[in-house]
Structure 1
Amino acid sequence: MSTRFASCSCGQLSAQVTGDPVRVSICHCLACQRRTGSPFAQQARFPRENVTIAGNSGAWFRPGDEGGGATFHFCPQCGATVYYESKDLPAFIAIPVGAFADPGFPAPTVSVYEERMHAWIVPPADAEHFA
């Protein structure tokens, strides 16, 4: 079983995960663009029992466009988001793929909010695509 390590920029907040993600997705919604400072967000979802969090976090809740919402946990020192919890999916923890700093991380299999996608972005052809 594989083990991966994600952390904030300064290393104070981290997440260790065992096993493969159950979903790797990219989101092109405007809220994710603003939150990440990038034209999309990429996240990996893991069963909660496979994630070990270490360090202190600040938290910020953002309501979802269609209900639900998520609590984002970030380092109070450097500000980097290390994980988040979806209100509608309490059995899982999502981790921004960039927090792993692993260019070999699995590609996304789902792409959402594509109507807000930047014109130059080309998601993997075999991913599920949602407008």
Structure 2
Amino acid sequence: METRTASCGCGQLRIEVAAEPNGVGICHCLACQRRTGSVFAAVAGFPLPYTVSGQSTAYVRTGDAGCGFVYHFCPVCGTTLFHTEDDVDDEVFVAVGAFADPGFPAPQISVYDSRRHPWVQLPPGVQAFARDPS
């Protein structure tokens, strides 16, 4: 079992997971674009348990289907490091870029592809959904 550590930009907030990701996805919804300041968010879902060190501030956003997304970000540098979802109690979702690992597995799915910027090209084999299929 591989242990991976992701951290915020200043290193104050860290999350450690002790498993391979259940899946990797990218989201092009407008909320993720605003939250990340990028044109999409890349996240990896990991099974429990996980360990957090440092202080975080939480922000709750309600998704289209009514689920609460609880985003944890560093109060020092502002990096959104991970999130949980109200209707998912056995998984944590970590920002892929926070692992600072260019060899991290590629995404398998792309959600809210209807909001994808036309110049963003998906890797081969990625399953795309116009909205969130869940």
Partner of 1:105: 104
Corresponding residue pairs, total: 130
Partner of 1:23: 23
Q: CA deviation at 1:111?
A: 0.4
Letter in 2 for 1:31: A
Q: CA deviation at 1:2?
A: 1.3
Partner of 1:5, secondary structure, is: strand
In structure 1, list runs of 5 or more residues that go unmatched: none
Partner of 2:65, secondary structure, is: coil
Partner of 2:61: 62
TM score, norm. by length of structure 1: 0.96
In structure 2, list runs of 5 or more residues that go unmatched: none
TM score, norm. by length of structure 2: 0.94
Partner of 1:47: 47
- Give the percent of matched residue pairs that are identical in Structure 1 and Structure 2: 53
Structure 1's consecutive aligned runs of 4 or more residues displaced over 6 angstroms after TM superposition are none
Partner of 1:15, secondary structure, is: strand
Letter in 1 for 2:112: Y
| Residues 1:10 and 2:10 aligned together | yes
| Residues 1:77 and 2:107 aligned together | no
What whole-Å deviation, never above 9, does each CA across 1:12-62 have from its counterpart, x for those lacking one? 11011112100100000000000000000000000121x211111000000
2:83 and 2:65 map into 1 onto residues whose CA distance is: 18
Measured on the aligned residues, the alpha-carbon RMSD in Å equals: 0.9
1:123 and 1:17 map into 2 onto residues whose CA distance is: 26
2:56 and 2:77 map into 1 onto residues whose CA distance is: 10
Partner of 1:130: 129
